[in-house]
Amino acid sequence: MSSTSETDVIAQHQFRALGTYVHLCTTGDLARAVELASDVLAAVDLACSRFRADSDLSRANARDGRWTPVDPLLAAAVTVATEAARQTDGLVNPCLGRHLVALGYDADLSIVQARTDRPAVLPASVRHDAWQEVCVDPAGAVFVPHGAQLDLGATAKAWAADLLAMTLTDTFGDDVLVSLGGDIRIGGASSRAWPIVITEHPDGIGDELPAEVITLDGGGLATSSTMVRRWVAGSTVQHHLLDPRTGQPAQPYWRTVTATGPTCAAANVASTAAIILGAEAPKWLAERGVDARLIDIDGVIHRIGRWPAG
Amino acid sequence: MTQTLSTSKRDFYKVATAGITGVAAFGTLTATGAFAGMAAGEHAAKLQAATPAPTQPVVVAQPRPHRTEVHTRIVHAASTGAVVAPAPGGAIRANRPVAAPQQGAPSTRITTSSAAPRSAPPVAPPVASKPRTVAPAPTSGS
């Protein structure tokens, strides 16, 4: 790794894509980086969005039980999602789309949250192992198991952060940091330590705890929380992190988990799995060498691995 | 027929995007467009509709007449099983207050843009005499 130059200029810009904010920092030309980022994320959205009728994912979900030719981007995203399930014994599960729809999360979150209460009717059966039947041809085809619907919410955004950071670095050779709604990937040849502020809500608005600022010099970082992406259905506050063993939102144990990893996807798999694992999460994370910061439902912070004291 | 419409829109979008972004900056044979894509969708869908079992898919490979924004090799590199496995990441440290830079020490200047940035001017703006701290990137619950 090379060291940083004597005077580095870092430019940054925020814009929206994939239904969330994009925070882009680069040592290179910001305009061309933003332009390329917008194009890459538009392609990802068109391939992977569950809320677009014209997306490849929507077509594949409508053809469950059959192979569907898709953009190779979706094939790659599904590969990552199924691999995440394999790494977590199905805890981070891409086959919960039908459950999320049943719980009311069937459109962009702003639309879902604007609705008045509606019943939450879960599917009669929970096939938590259906992910094992998902098949992918990386050249551009996906097989969705019969009766299942893919939802890539647990992995696609983090994977897109990886994809974007790698694309920017490969194309322009600059140091970059990409944050897609808080899923962060660092790219570039230098060992630059990027400052990152950790909050439970966007911009820390509504947080009980003070923001924590750390630096990270490579790889990825992701934060998963049951405090965001919440809505009311069945007279109950629902959140988007489902436990595949029950098909219901994960039981409250951790409310926010931030984890690092060699990539953003790996970090996000770790943080999501930790939310679902509950009390078992610290041991699970430590066994994998993951550095993490967990906030339990009482607001107590737990630090795992090399996570620095606040 | 939805698929036909989707395919049409997809190709129109990507052709238009390729024209706007100037894909000359990207590799020649490594672009995603070399994959079989939606152009083959309708024909392949008819073939596969008769074979519901998850056997080897029948995909008609046709090169696209355009290139998309993501290199094939990057898509592959970002999508292997190894990149998903939870494991140690980069070095993480508590952020310390930035001390005044010493003579000759590396420094950082940051510029922030809330509006869409324009291309850099031909002459770089003067460097600020006192470097500022890099604004931290946000991560919050998602």
- pLDDT for A20-74, tens place per residue? 999 999 999 999 999 999 999 999 999 999 889 999 999 999 999 999 999 999 9
- Per CB-CB distance under 8 Å, the chain A contacts of B9 are 54
Which residues of chain A neighbour B8 with C-beta distances below 8 Å?
none
User: What is the pLDDT confidence band of residue A308, given thresholds at 50, 70 and 90?
Assistant: very high
- pLDDT at position B19: 35
Q: Which residue, A275, A190, A213, is CA-closest to A239?
A: A275
List the structure tokens of A6. 């004597």
Q: Give B138→chain A minimum CA distance, Å.
A: 5
Gap from B86 CA to chain A (nearest CA, Å):
5
Q: Does the beta carbon of B131 lie under 8 angstroms from any beta carbon of chain A?
A: yes
**Residue carrying the six token digits 């702003």:** A110
Helix count and strand count (H, E) for chain B: 3, 3
Q: How confident is the model at residue A261 (pLDDT cuts 50, 70, 90)?
A: very high
Task: Say if CB A255 and CB A200 are below 8 A apart.
Answer: yes
DSSP one-letter string for B46-76: HHHHT--SSSS--------SS--SSBHHHHH
Tell me which chain A residues have a C-beta less than 8 angstroms from the C-beta of B108: 4, 7-10
pLDDT, residue A112, reads 73
**Contact call for A290 and B89, based on CB within 8 A:** yes
Distance of alpha carbon A143 from its chain centroid, rounded?
A: 22
pLDDT beyond 90 at A100: no
At B55, the pLDDT band (50, 70, 90 cuts) reads: low
Give A89's DSSP letter.
T
Amino acid making up residue A263: T
Q: What is the largest CA-CA distance in chain A?
A: 62
Question: Percentage of chain A with pLDDT > 70?
Answer: 91
> Among A228, A80, A220, A89, which residue's Cα sits nearest to residue A152?
A80
Shortest alpha-carbon distance between residue A235 and chain B (Å) = 23
**pLDDT on residue B8:** 46
Mutation target to probe the B interface, by most B beta carbons within 10 A, among A25, A34, A66, A209 is A66
Interface of B with A in 81-100 (CB under 8 A): 81, 83-95
Please give the average per-residue pLDDT across A299-310, as a whole number: 94
Q: Point out the least confidently predicted range of A95-99, A301-305, B100-104.
A: B100-104
A301-304 vs A292-296, strand pairing mode: antiparallel
Q: Would you state the pLDDT for residue A205?
A: 78
The ipTM is 0.86
Q: Read out DSSP for A173-193?
A: ---EEEEETTEEEEESSB---
The better pLDDT of the pair A6, A213 is held by A213
Count Cβ atoms below 10 Å from residue B68 Cβ, excluding itself.
27
User: What DSSP letter does each residue of A51-76 carry, written as one string?
Assistant: S-TTSHHHHHHHTTTSEEE--HHHHH
List CB contacts (< 8 A) between B2 and chain A: 53, 59
Bigger pLDDT: A7 or A175?
A175
- pLDDT confidence tier of residue A6, bands split at 50, 70 and 90: very low
Of the given ranges (A99-108, A140-149, A276-285), which has the lowest mean pLDDT?
A: A99-108
Beta strands in B1-142, from DSSP E residues, in sequence order? 92-94, 107-113, 137-139
Q: What rounded mean pLDDT belongs to chain A?
A: 89
Which pLDDT score, from 0 to 100, does residue B73 have? 82
* CB spacing of B110 vs A269 below 8 angstroms: no
CB contact under 8 A, B135 and A12: yes
Q: Are residues A111 and A87 in contact, defined by beta-carbon separation less than 8 angstroms?
A: no
Which structure tokens are listed for B140? 């919050």
Report which of residues A234 and B111 the model is more confident about.
A234
β A194-198/A292-296 pair status: unpaired
The pLDDT tens digits of the residues spanning B64-109 come to: 433 455 777 888 888 877 789 999 999 999 986 544 444 443 344 4
Residue B26: phi and psi, rounded to 5, are -105, 170
Q: Do A216 and B91 touch (CB under 8 A)?
A: yes
Say if strands B137-139 and A194-198 run parallel, antiparallel, or are unpaired. parallel
CB–CB contact B78 A163 (8 Å):
yes
Whether A259 and A267 have beta carbons less than 8 Å apart is answered as yes
Closest CA–CA distance from residue B92 to any residue of chain A (Å): 5
User: CA–CA separation, A100 vs A251, rounded Å?
Assistant: 16
Report the Cα–Cα distance between both ends of chain B, in Å, rounded.
36
The three-state secondary structure class of A125 is coil
DSSP 3-state assignment of B12? helix
Instruction: Specify which residues A16 forms β-bridges with.
Output: A21
Report the DSSP pairing between strands B107-113 and A7-17.
parallel
Which positions in chain B touch A267 (Cβ < 8 Å)? Answer: 86, 89
> What are the pLDDT digits (tens) for A118-152?
766 666 565 778 999 999 999 899 999 998 999 99
Nearest CB to B92; choose among A31, A260, A263:
A260
Token pair of A223 as six digits: 């934060």
**DSSP secondary structure code for residue A2 in this structure:** B
Q: Are B21 and A39 in contact (CB < 8 Å)?
A: yes
Return d(Cα A9, Cα A226) in angstroms, integer.
Answer: 36
Q: Considering chain B, what is the average pLDDT of its residues?
A: 54
B16 → chain A, closest CA residue: A39
* Cα A301 to Cα A248: distance, rounded to the nearest angstrom: 25
| Contact by Cβ (8 Å): A195, A215 | yes
- CB-based contacts of A129, cutoff 8 Å, min separation 6: A90
Report residue A199 CA to chain centroid gap: 16
Q: Do A218 and B32 touch (CB under 8 A)?
A: no
Relative orientation angle of helices A156-172 and A30-48, to the nearest 10 degrees: 140
Q: Which residue of A has its CA nearest to B57?
A: A67
d(CA A54, CA B58): 22
Q: Does B1 touch chain A (CB under 8 A)?
A: no
Q: Does the beta-carbon distance from A59 to B113 stay under 8 Å?
A: no
At residue A274, what is the residue type?
A
